Amino acid sequence: MTVLPPITNVVTWNQDAVDIFVTNGLAFLARGTNGLAILSVTNPASPQLLGTLPTTSYTASVTVAGNLAYMADGLNGLRIISVTNPSNPLVIGSYPISSDAGQIVVRSNLVYVAGGLSGLVVLNASNPAQPSLVGSYATDVDAVGLCLLGNDAVIGSPNPISSLNGEPSYPEGLFTIDVSDPAHPNLVGQSSPGTGNLDVEGQYAFGIGYTLGFGYGELEIFTMTNPALPALVGSFTYYPITNSLHFPIYVSAYDVRLVNNLAYIVGYNGTNSEFFAVDVHDPTQPIPVGYYADVGQPTALAVDGNLIYIAGAGTPLEILRTPFNTSPVAAPLLALPGHSGFNLSIQGRHGQYYDVQYSDQLNGGLWQTLETILLTNDNAVITLPQGPARRFFRLKQDN
């Protein structure tokens, strides 16, 4: 018998959310028709509402980079919000997207949006007050899920949408789109089955499977070693629960996050919420290592160290404590003399983007991006520009 370690409820907050992003002691909640809410979670046992931003449409997802929040806001398209003062979030820019958007990923000044029937949309937000279209890929993709892997955008299209003659005009599947030239995204590969929300770790994409007529279900794991031929290599189906009719009911999964070879999955069965932590060191044989159940229908989750945030439309936010990732590994710090011509050696994972960040003060200093690099090998060397006598550097892996 396998005994799973305890996962416990820290607190239940009294408002719902359809998407969650947690960073620097703040939780950003996309609340559908209720817009955006920003909470202080520095004390996770007592979340404090700091600010809200109403919507005239439906806030479906939110991603935060620096002092900016990027919201997929239904008929309002993508909205860019200044959250420099979390108590007073301000809309500073927007870009129309003709279909409901899903997941959003920010890399440097580019914003990648899973734009529903608009497909993949790439925006330049170097001037957040006036984001501009860089490129798009809109042919035969109902883009819901999105993650970036090196020079590729991986899109999840959960279910086929038929044209008037009954033929699928937007097929289901996992789509690999080359964005090495963001102005001209190019489809390079695709795979079945239908997939919704996505996350990535290493050379694997992790998606929530979708079966027409049955809805969302299992965790699906794709190898992306060859982007032209993404291949399903593993899956994890939720435990069957026997009801009074004596046949198994499988919990519907809706969202997934990857941290340190653990896949965190949230979903529900009827009115019962279900959360799993799954060990994916071997992607071909996922192993459940943590489980939590409660009342509710959560469809969104966020991970912050050993804390898990789950919620759904009509399902209040729950903060859970797990025994996993209790001491997240901080980005490496190097105290280096910052003079012109000094070489900084970068080591990391082949095919990943890294932000080389610097600060003139180790504790409490402002970290700024010096350069974003793609490791074409497992290491690289960059030459530092002239700076003060001592400057601190760190690496941050780009999503």
DSSP string, 193-208: SEEEEEEEETTEEEEE
CA angle 41, 59, 37 (to 5 degrees): 25
- Please tell me which residue, 285 or 374, carries the higher pLDDT value: 285
Across the chain, mean pLDDT equals: 82
pLDDT in tens, 10-42: 999 999 999 999 999 999 999 999 999 999 999
Residues 6+ apart with CB under 8 A from 165: none
pLDDT in tens, 215-271: 557 889 999 999 999 999 998 875 544 444 444 445 578 899 999 889 999 988 888
CATH architecture of 8-321: 7 Propeller (2.130)
pLDDT reported for residue 4: 54
Whether domain 333-397 has CATH 3.30.379: no
| d(C-alpha 222, C-alpha 382), whole Å | 33
pLDDT in tens, 95-108: 998 777 889 999 98
Segments in 23-81 forming alpha helices (H): none
Find tokens 């239940």 and name the residue: 12
In the predicted structure, residue 376 carries a pLDDT above the cut 90: no
pLDDT reported for residue 36: 97
Listed in order, the ranges of the chain carrying CATH 2.130.10.10 are 8-321
Segments in 260-392 forming alpha helices (H): none
Alpha carbon distances (Å) from 128 to 92, 94, 102, 251, 271: 7, 8, 20, 40, 41
pLDDT in tens, 139-162: 667 788 999 999 999 998 876 554
DSSP state of 251: P
Q: Return the structure tokens found at 30.
A: 């996309």
| d(C-alpha 315, C-alpha 297), whole Å | 6
CA angle 322, 323, 324 (to 5 degrees): 90
Any bridge partners for residue 113, and if so which? Answer: 104, 121
| d(C-alpha 236, C-alpha 254), whole Å | 13
| d(C-alpha 99, C-alpha 2), whole Å | 45
In the predicted structure, residue 43 carries a pLDDT above the cut 50: yes
In the predicted structure, residue 176 carries a pLDDT above the cut 90: yes
Position 112, amino acid: Y
The answer to whether 389 and 358 are in contact (CB under 8 A) is no
Sign of CA pseudo-dihedral 351, 356, 357, 361: positive
Relative to beta strand 36-40, strand 145-149 is unpaired
3 state SS of 75: helix
Residues 6+ apart with CB under 8 A from 247: none
In the predicted structure, residue 307 carries a pLDDT above the cut 70: yes
Listed in order, the ranges of the chain carrying CATH 2.60.40 are 333-397
| d(C-alpha 53, C-alpha 37), whole Å | 7
User: Is residue 248 reached through a cis peptide bond, with omega within 30 degrees of 0 on the bond before it?
Assistant: no
The answer to whether 393 and 372 are in contact (CB under 8 A) is no
In the predicted structure, residue 5 carries a pLDDT above the cut 70: no
Any bridge partners for residue 198, and if so which? Answer: 207
| d(C-alpha 29, C-alpha 60), whole Å | 10
